[in-house]
Chain A
Amino acid sequence: MREKETTLYLGPQHPGITGNMMVKLKVTGDTIVRAETHVGYLHRGFEKLMEVRNWMQVFPIVCRICVPEPDPNEENLARAIEILEGREVPERAQYIRVMVLELARLASYLLWFGGQSGSAGLYTMPQWSVGDRDYILDLFEELTGGRVYHMYIWAGGVRRDLPEGFADKVLRVMDYLEKRLKHYDNLMLDNSIFQKRAQGVGVIDREKALDWGIVGPPLRGCGFKHDVRIDDPYLVYDKLQFEVPTETGCDVWARALVRRREFEQSISIIRQIMEKMPGGEFYNKVPNPLHWKVPAGDVYVKTESARGEFGYYVVSDGSDKPRRVHVRGPAYVHGITLLEHLLQGANLADVSFIMNSLGTCPPEMER
Chain B
Amino acid sequence: MEFSLKGMLNPLLALQQAGKRPHTIQFPFEEKKVAERYRGLHFNDLEACIGCGTCSTICQNEAIDMVEINPGDSENAKPGDSGLRPRVDNGRCCWCALCVEVCPSGSLSLTTHYNYVSEDANSFLWTPGVSNPDGHKELSFVSDTSHSLLDYARVPMRELEGKERIKSFAEVVLGYADEEAKKEAARCIGCSICTEVCPVHMHIPEYISAIEHGNNEDAIRIIYDNNPIGETCGKVCTRRCEEVCPLGARGEAIAIRWLKRYATEKAENAEIIREIVNPDIKPPNGKKVGIIGAGPSGLTVAYYLALRGFDVTIYEAKAKAGGMIMYGIPKYRLPLDSLDKQVEYMQSVGVKIHFNTKVGEQISFTEIEKNHDAVFIGIGYEVPYTIGIDGENLENSIQAVNFLRDINADKHVDIGNRVAVIGGGNVAIDAARVSRRLGAEVTILYRRREEDMPADWEEIEGAKHEGVIIKTQAIPLNVVDDGSGRVKGIRYGNARMVTDEKGGRPRPELIEGDEHILELYTIIGAIGQEADYSFIPEDIKEKIGFKSGRIVTNEWQQTSVPHIFAGGDIVNRTADAISAVADGYKAVKGIEQFIFAK
Residues of A near any B CB (own CB < 8 A): 53, 56-61, 64, 124, 128, 131, 134-135, 138, 141-142, 144-146, 149, 151, 159-160, 163, 183, 185-187, 190-193, 195-196, 199, 285-291
Contact = CB atoms under 8 A, between A and B. Distances in A.
Nearest to A141: B35
Contacts of A141: 34-35, 38
Main secondary structure of the interface of B (DSSP, over half): loop
A128 B36 CA distance: 27
B209 interface: yes
A293 B7 CA distance: 59
A111 to B, nearest CB: 15
A57 B58 contact: yes
A145 B139 CA distance: 12
Residue of B39, B59, B110 with most partner-chain A CB within 10 A: B39
Given A151-B96, A163-B35, 20 more contacts: A56-B58, A56-B98, A57-B58, A64-B94, A145-B35, A145-B110, A159-B147, A183-B13, A191-B7, A191-B11, A192-B7, A288-B149, A288-B151, A288-B186, A288-B188, A289-B98, A289-B102, A289-B149, A290-B190, A291-B190
Bin chain B's interface residue count: 35 or more
Contacts of B189: 288, 290
A358 B186 CA distance: 47
Nearest to B16: A183
A145 B60 contact: no
20 contacts: A56-B58, A57-B60, A60-B94, A61-B60, A142-B37, A145-B35, A145-B39, A145-B140, A146-B95, A160-B37, A186-B14, A193-B11, A195-B7, A196-B3, A285-B149, A288-B150, A288-B188, A290-B58, A290-B102, A291-B212
A187 B13 contact: yes
A56 B149 contact: yes
A149 B94 contact: yes
Main secondary structure of the interface of A (DSSP, over half): helix
Interface stretch (B17-25, B349-357, B439-447, B564-572): B17-25
Contacts of A142: 35-37
Contact of A199 (B1, B8, B94): B1
Contacts of A57: 58-60, 98
B57 interface: yes
Contact of A190 (B7, B24, B149): B7
Contacts of A183: 13-14, 17
B151 A163 contact: no
Nearest to A159: B147
Nearest to B6: A190
A138 B37 CA distance: 12
Contacts of B96: 59-60, 149, 151
Contacts of A159: 147
Interface string B541-557: 00000000000000000
A138 B36 CA distance: 11
Contacts of B98: 56-57, 59-60, 289
Interface in B36-75: 36-39, 54, 57-61
A335 B592 CA distance: 72
B419 interface: no
